[in-house]
Structures are given as C-alpha cells and as structure tokens.
Amino acid sequence: MKKRKKVGHTIYAFTVLILGILIIAMVILLLFHVQTIEVSGNKYVSSSEIGESIQKNSKTKNSLYLLSKNLLGKIEYPTAVVSTKMRLKAPWSIKVAVKEKKIIGYTVIDDAYVYFDENGIVLSKSAVLMEKIPCIEGLSTNAELYKKLPVEEKRIFSNIDTMLKELDKWKIKPDRIVSDRADLTIYIGKITITLGSGNMKEKISQLSPILKKLEGKEGTLDLRHYGETTEMISFKEGELPKKEKETVDKK
C-alpha cells in the first residue's frame, strides 16, 4: 500500500513537472514571439531590408532565439551593414542599432543616385539625393547593388578616397569632381584643377595658397606631374588659349 502511494506521488510530481515545463514553454513561445523589429542608426539601408535579413532562414520568430543568433554572428545582414547591437525592448519586440559602411561619394546612372564606399562597392541605389556627399562624374554607366562599380582603372577609388580626405583636411570644397580613368579633375569657381592620378596628398597641400593668388581669375591649374617629374605648377588662363603658361610658386 505504501509502495502504491509512493508511486502515485511520484507520478503526480512528474505530471506536475511536465505540465510546468509545458506551460513555461508555451509562455516563452507566445510571449517572446516577435511582433515588432525597431531599427536605428541606419541612414541608407532600409529598416525593412534589415528586418527581413534578421528573420530570413530562421525556423522561429522567437525573440530569444534571434537574440542568441545575432550574438553568435549567424545573421546575414546586407553588405552595407558593418555591425549591429540587438536587445529586447519587450519580450515581443526587438531593437537593433545598426552601423553602416561609410559612403564616400556618388555618381548618377540611369537617373538614379549610386552611392559607393572607398573600395567602389555600391552601397545604395536611390532616387533620393543625400546631402553633403560629393558627386563623382564619369565613373561608370552601370551599377549593381553591393557589387563593385565596373571601371577600367581599379586605383581610381583609392585616388578618390585620398583626394576627398585631403580636400576635407584643407577645407577645400570643389564645385565639381570629374574622373577620367584614374585621373581626377576638380572645379572650384572658374578654376579647373587637373590632379592626374598620383600624389594626391602633395598636390592638394599646394592648393590653398595658390587658389588665393588666383582669386578672380579663370583658367586651368595643372598639377598632373607635380611631385613625380617636376616641382613646377602651371596655370593657363582659359580666355587666352594662345597665351604661354604662367608658373605659380608652390607652397
């Protein structure tokens, strides 16, 4: 009789334990079922694209599961996303802070603004023009999202990146930037500045004092060979094509 009672208590305790586990499992499944994904920090990658990537290839929409999956680096975010921080805003709500790759410039292809990074990777194609991002003319005639812009000279992107950093360092803001293969030309007011394809740091370091001397003038400042084969910088006035080049003192 005592043995039967003991067995009965054991079965009862086991049943209660199983029911408890099932209740907890149901609570976790229902309470932690993702209903909203809030994205912050993104400027050009859409929140919907990030949300879709979080739930893609996931067997469940459980927030705890997605949180651990993100922690283990098992979520494949868009190429433009550098890193993410995910946390629970509520059991059924996830908040994701995103850090995107830096856009250095854009070009216009088929009426779309094509934004790219320092390696020439297309990070965004949009009908919306972003502020404070320089336009680089003459790069390519086609582009595919998250792929490198097809160009003949691969070094053009490192040239552009270096040039833009140096222009920013010296607080020089060009009106236009044009690329021709690996060669770069910038336009400031009525002055055309041909930079060529190398020694961007040295060339741009000369610009500030020279532009002050050329204030009010119109023409072409040639720095293509400065620092490579010569230390001379030449300026040719645009309205006088037959006039001999004037030598401008370097900094």
- What is the DSSP secondary-structure string of 83-131? EEEEEEEETTEEEEEEEEPPP-EEEEETTEEEEE-TT-BEEEEESSPPT
Residue 85 token pair: 């921080």
CA proximity to 88, closest of 31, 155, 3: 31
Q: For the residues 163-188, what does the mean pLDDT come to?
A: 95
CA proximity to 118, closest of 130, 131, 136, 132: 136
Q: What pLDDT, in 10s, does the model give residues 228-238?
A: 777 788 899 87
With a cut of 90, say whether residue 86 has pLDDT above it: yes
Helix 47-55 × helix 63-71 angle, to 10°:
90
Q: What pLDDT, in 10s, does the model give residues 144-165?
A: 999 999 998 888 999 999 999 9
CA proximity to 58, closest of 47, 50, 67, 66: 66
pTM of the model: 0.80
Backbone phi, psi, residue 54, to 5°: -65, -40
Q: Which of 9-18, 67-76, 177-186 has the lowest mean pLDDT?
A: 9-18
CA proximity to 176, closest of 184, 187, 165: 187
